[in-house]
């Protein structure tokens, strides 16, 4: 069974780009538009004993942003390698969270190789 990666970004172009590359590297990809949707999918996968190999999420999403998603995972004691994509400066917030969960911040525009290397490191 192929490992799953959850991609949370409201931008469909970014979802499609990431999905295409991740599928080439042997992953099944589940794309959602919001952090709260990602959280529900992640919890469903964990309940089904199919924890995702990684999560890739945008920092700035409607309803539940990337930081809120990561904080929810930490509150539930879930440590899944997570990539936060951002074009903003939230270094202190991300640095604090990275002490509690396996986390990488990537600046937009993202380098796919950075994301793949991070995922492979923990896969």
> Is it the case that residue 123 has pLDDT exceeding 90?
no
Between 67 and 88, the more confident residue is 67
Report the pLDDT value the prediction gives residue 75, as an integer from 0 to 100: 95
Say if residue 119 is exposed, middle or buried (CB neighbours under 10 Å; 0-12, 13-18, 19+): buried
**Nearest CA among 23, 30, 40 for reference residue 116:** 23
pLDDT over 90 percentage in the chain: 73
Q: List Cβ neighbours of 70 (8 Å cut-off, separation of 6 or more).
A: 57, 82, 84, 97, 101, 103
Homologous superfamily in CATH for domain 4-122: Response regulator (3.40.50.2300)
Report the pLDDT value the prediction gives residue 89, as an integer from 0 to 100: 67
Mean of pLDDT values over 2-28 = 96
Report the pLDDT value the prediction gives residue 14, as an integer from 0 to 100: 94
Q: What are the tens digits of pLDDT across the range 70-98? A: 999 999 999 999 999 987 766 667 888 88
Q: Where are the beta strands (DSSP E) in 1-123?
A: 4-8, 28-32, 54-58, 82-86, 103-107
Domain range list for the chain: 4-122
For residue 25, CA distances in Å to 5, 104, 109, 119 come to: 11, 19, 20, 10
Mean of pLDDT values over 11-32 = 96
């Amino acid at each position: 069974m192929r490992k799953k990666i959850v991609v949370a970004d409201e931008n469909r172009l970014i979802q499609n780009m990431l999905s295409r590359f991740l599928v080439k590297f042997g992953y099944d990809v589940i794309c959602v538009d919001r952090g709260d949707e990602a959280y529900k999918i992640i919890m469903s996968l964990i309940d089904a004993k199919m924890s995702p190999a990684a999560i890739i999420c945008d920092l700035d999403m409607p309803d539940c942003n990337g930081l809120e998603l990561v904080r929810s995972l930490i509150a539930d004691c879930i440590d899944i390698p997570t990539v936060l994509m951002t074009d903003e400066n939230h270094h202190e917030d991300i640095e604090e969270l990275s002490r509690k969960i396996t986390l990488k911040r990537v600046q937009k525009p993202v380098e796919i190789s950075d994301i793949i290397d991070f995922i492979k490191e923990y896969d």
